Amino acid sequence: MNYRTLGKTGIKVSPYALGAMMFGGIANADHDDCIRIIHKALDFGINFIDTADRYSAGESEEIVGKALKGRRDSIVLATKFSGPMGEDPNRQGASRRWIVQAVEDSLRRLQTDHIDLYQIHRPMPDTDIEETLSTLTDLMRAGKVRAIGSSTFPVSEIVEAQWVAERRGLARFRTEQPPYSILDRGIEGDMLPTCQRYGMGVVVWSPLSKGMLTGRYRKGQPLPEGGTRARVFSRQMSDERSLDAVEQLIPLAAEAGMSLTYMAMAFVMAHPGVTSALLGPRTMAHLDDLLAGAETRLTDDLMDRIDQIVPPGTDVGLNEAAYRPPAVTQPGLRRRPASERVAA
């Protein structure tokens, strides 16, 4: 395994990271099976595991905690906070009140005394970023957290967080976790160069674009039955632009002598700004298939041909799990009152 440095933290991590979102009631409720999957990944050389408190309402963290007994010291363990953890409106977000509670809950479920990388799961526009960074800085000083990061932040908020940290003498985000795949290339234009400029590690999620790049979802064919992603992201799986791109990518991969999945994973790992890519297996068969393609490398000619299908810096289709800022989702923030809409 050729380990990479996680930004400027000095922490060495595997190019593939094991994402634990599928472990628990959302997808695989068999704890013993999930633990076997985790152990298989660790035996392969993966030393980086990423989960979140909200994955199956904490069950994912519990599974990871059980799996790491006796192996914790050799693992870079990452988790996330800010998603809702119940009906109480204060059991979510990025306030000091919640973060202090959330980290203790995660430490208990993970059965550890520290988290190597603690990430805010999504931006929280209702909370001053200084409040969040100040609390995370205190957790680092207390030894409960080793490094901090963001996930799916707009570039402007990444820059603002860096500036606030510098001005206030606070710990700064050392990593960003954005979506990135052949179908989701928007971060190439600004996000990845910004993270490189600030020395941030980048751990990309959904390198297979929620399963679109497995070849299971084809134009003119019904969605596969029983698939977790198909149920949750049915609109994305039937998006015409994405399907059109997939239909062009499948023969390209076949011509190169590889599966679409292997080509998609090798593509995201080829970018110099990417540290690790998250694998999100639900079953052992999923993991085995992904690990079998770990040595796949793409030629410059193949990369150029991918660029012709999906141009650099372009998002061709839907990503229903991506962050949409209030300025886009709330009409009141992008429309003047009716009385003010006339020019004279």
d(CA 61, CA 250): 36
Q: pLDDT tens digit string along 137-184?
A: 999 999 999 999 999 999 999 999 999 999 999 999 999 999 999 999
48, 50, 260 from 283: Cα distances, Å: 18, 17, 19
Q: pLDDT tens digit string along 74-104?
A: 999 999 999 999 999 999 999 999 999 999 9
Does residue 55 carry a catalytic annotation? yes
Q: What is the pLDDT of residue 139?
A: 98
3-state secondary structure of 40: helix
Quick check: 268 pLDDT over 90? yes
Residue 111 within any structural domain of the chain: yes
Average pLDDT of the residues in 307-327: 86
Q: What is the pLDDT of residue 337?
A: 82
Residue 337 within any structural domain of the chain: no
Q: What is the pLDDT of residue 225?
A: 65
Rounded to 5°, the CA angle 8-205-100 comes to 65
Residue 343 within any structural domain of the chain: no
The two tokens of residue 259 are: 């599966």
**Of 55, 180, 217, 262, which one is the catalytic site residue?**
55
In the chain, helix, strand, coil percent, each to 5? 45, 15, 45
Task: Indicate the pLDDT class of residue 237, thresholds 50, 70 and 90.
Answer: low
What mean pLDDT, rounded, does the chain reach? 93
Q: What is the pLDDT of residue 223?
A: 65
3-state secondary structure of 5: strand
Average pLDDT of the residues in 321-338: 82
Residue 339 within any structural domain of the chain: no
Contact 317, 309 (CB under 8 A): no
Listed range (29-33, 279-283, 323-327) with the worst mean pLDDT: 323-327
First to last CA, the chain: 67
User: What's the one-letter identity of residue 293?
Assistant: G
Q: What is the CA radius of gyration of the chain?
A: 20
Residue among 53, 141, 65 nearest 99 (CA)? 53
118, 209, 286, 294, 319 from 41: Cα distances, Å: 21, 21, 11, 12, 27
- Helices and strands, number each (H, E), in the chain: 13, 10
Task: Kindly report the backbone phi and psi dihedral angles of residue 28, in degrees, each rounded to the nearest multiple of 5, phi listed first.
Answer: -135, 100
Quick check: 287 pLDDT over 60? yes
216 versus 226: the higher-pLDDT residue is 216
Q: pLDDT tens digit string along 274-284?
A: 999 999 999 99
Residue 272 within any structural domain of the chain: yes
What's the structural domain count of the chain?
1
Find the CATH number of the domain harbouring 241: 3.20.20.100
Task: Indicate the pLDDT class of residue 333, thresholds 50, 70 and 90.
Answer: confident
Residue 58 within any structural domain of the chain: yes
Task: Kindly report the backbone phi and psi dihedral angles of residue 209, in degrees, each rounded to the nearest multiple of 5, phi listed first.
Answer: 50, 60
Domain that holds residue 229: 4-332
Residue 263 within any structural domain of the chain: yes
3-state secondary structure of 104: helix
Residue 148 within any structural domain of the chain: yes
79, 215, 239, 297 from 121: Cα distances, Å: 9, 29, 26, 31
Q: Which residues of 141-152 are buried (b: 16+ CB within 10 A; e: fewer)?
A: eeebbbbbbbbb
Average pLDDT of the residues in 229-247: 73
Average pLDDT of the residues in 316-322: 75
Q: What is the pLDDT of residue 295?
A: 93
